[in-house]
C-alpha cells in the first residue's frame, strides 16, 4: 500500500509541464470519492469522456476494422 510520502516522492518526479494534467487527475479522483460513492454503475459510466472524431459512435465498426482512420 502506497503512503503519502511515496506518492509525494513520485509527484516530485513529474515534469513541470505535466503538473496541470496530474492535478486534474488527482482532483477528479478525490472529488469522486467524496461526492457520492453510492452512485450506480451506469451513473459513473455516464461520466466517462473520450476524445475522438465526431462520427466515432456512428462509424465505430469502420474505425475498429481500420476502414476509417482517426486523423
Q: Buried b vs exposed e over 8-30: b needs ≥16 C-beta within 10 Å?
A: eeeeeeeeeeeeeeeeeeeeeee
Question: Would you state the pLDDT for residue 33?
Answer: 63
* pTM of the complete model: 0.44
Question: Would you state the pLDDT for residue 35?
Answer: 56
Question: Would you state the pLDDT for residue 37?
Answer: 60
pLDDT by residue (tens digit) across 10-69? 999 999 999 999 999 988 888 776 555 677 888 888 888 888 899 988 999 998 999 988
Amino acid at each position: 500500500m502506497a503512503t503519502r510520502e511515496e506518492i509525494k516522492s513520485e509527484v516530485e518526479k513529474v515534469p513541470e509541464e505535466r503538473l496541470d494534467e496530474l492535478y486534474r487527475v488527482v482532483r477528479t479522483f478525490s472529488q469522486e470519492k467524496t461526492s457520492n460513492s453510492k452512485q450506480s454503475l451506469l451513473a459513473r459510466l455516464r461520466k466517462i469522456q473520450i476524445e475522438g472524431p465526431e462520427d466515432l459512435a456512428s462509424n465505430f465498426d469502420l474505425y475498429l476494422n481500420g476502414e476509417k482512420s482517426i486523423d
